[in-house]
Structure 1
């Protein structure tokens, strides 16, 4: 290997190191700002995504992931005996893991934090500007999202939570 190759490899290594450092610093800043958000929470309770985002959320996940798995699975069922044993095991394991992952998304309980700047649900932060208003239906406070910006968020009703939301959103 000549000296140009060594220099090129060294520069590529340094660039990769610099990019990794920038990425780590960005993650550090994100975690730091998230801790500040969580510290300023006005109201905290636990609920699962299925209750928070409603039936449309579950239907969206089913349509995005359930139908393709169903069609691929039914297609592979026709040729199941012709597939190699290792591939069948891997495919069965992957589908089982994926289905459990989807159930986890729907039914695992996440902390919901209502803050001064917005609402922190699971791993998403939605500012108050993303909502048009709120309404109360079936013992739930429904935060109505702006079209194309956010989706409606369903929160368990409590008087304290309603008083907090009333300061930031108008009742529709």
Structure 2
């Protein structure tokens, strides 16, 4: 079999896989949209990811960076002189772009909308059924998610936010 035929077959397979994924994602959204229909916004503000998800998010972010960075720098240290010409520059350029992307994603502010039937953070809508309760610590309202489903979400303390959350969740 010719190499071009293999490339064409691989390309057609990728197109089929992509179209199947789009179809299934559309069906998923159609089924889930009634359950997660958002009503009018009760309160809205913007905040950073590390403020919303707390210290665990920061530790996870630093851990992921270190898991990827240490082996890459170890590889470069050991094999830099054996790399093909031009590979080192392209590799370092890709690495710098990826690091810039991580840093930008870390410092983007996300909109937080609080609705009658749930809370919308970034690109995710969570109904009130996903939370066990809430607590207040260090000028933050911490929404405690059901174990294994949702990580705790830290909201800035505000009397209006506390009144809204108090209507839907019990204080722990």
Q: By the TM > 0.5 criterion, same fold?
A: yes
What is the CA distance between 1:44 and its match in structure 2?
A: 0.5
Please give the secondary structure, in 2, of the residue aligned with 1:155.
strand
Please name the residue that 1:98 is paired with: 98
Structure 2 residue 79 is the aligned partner of structure 1 residue 82: no
Structure 1 residues 13-162: aligned runs within 5 Å:
19=20, 22=23, 37=38, 40-162=40-162
Cα distance change of structure 1 residues 59 and 44 upon mapping to structure 2, 3 Å threshold: same
Unaligned runs of 5+ residues in structure 1 are: 1-11
Give the structure-2-normalised TM-score.
0.77
Task: Give me the CA root mean square deviation.
Answer: 3.1
Change in CA separation of 1:92 and 1:129 when aligned onto 2, cut-off 3 Å:
same
CA distance in structure 2 between the aligned counterparts of 1:74 and 1:146, rounded to whole angstroms: 40
Give me the TM-score of the superposition, normalised by structure 1: 0.77
After TM superposition, where is structure 1 displaced by more than 4 Å over at least 4 residues in a row? 18-21, 23-30
For residue 113 of structure 1, give the secondary structure of its aligned residue in structure 2: strand
Alpha-carbon distance, 1:75 to partner: 2.4
Mapped to 2, the partners of 1:159 and 1:59 lie a distance apart of 30
* Per-residue CA distance 1:81-116 (angstroms, 9 max, x = gap): 221232112211221122122222221101011112
Q: Where does structure 2 lack aligned partners over 5 or more consecutive residues?
A: 1-11
Q: Report the Cα offset of residue 64 of structure 1.
A: 2.5
Specify which structure has the higher proportion of helix. Answer: 1
1:66–1:170 CA distance, 2 compared to 1 (3 A): same
Deviating more after overlay: 19-28 vs 115-124: 19-28
Deviation at 1:45, TM superposition (A): 0.1
Deviation at 1:141, TM superposition (A): 0.6
CA displacement 1:109-142 (0-9 Å, x = unmatched): 0101111221111111222112111111111111
Distance 2:88 2:140 in 1: 45
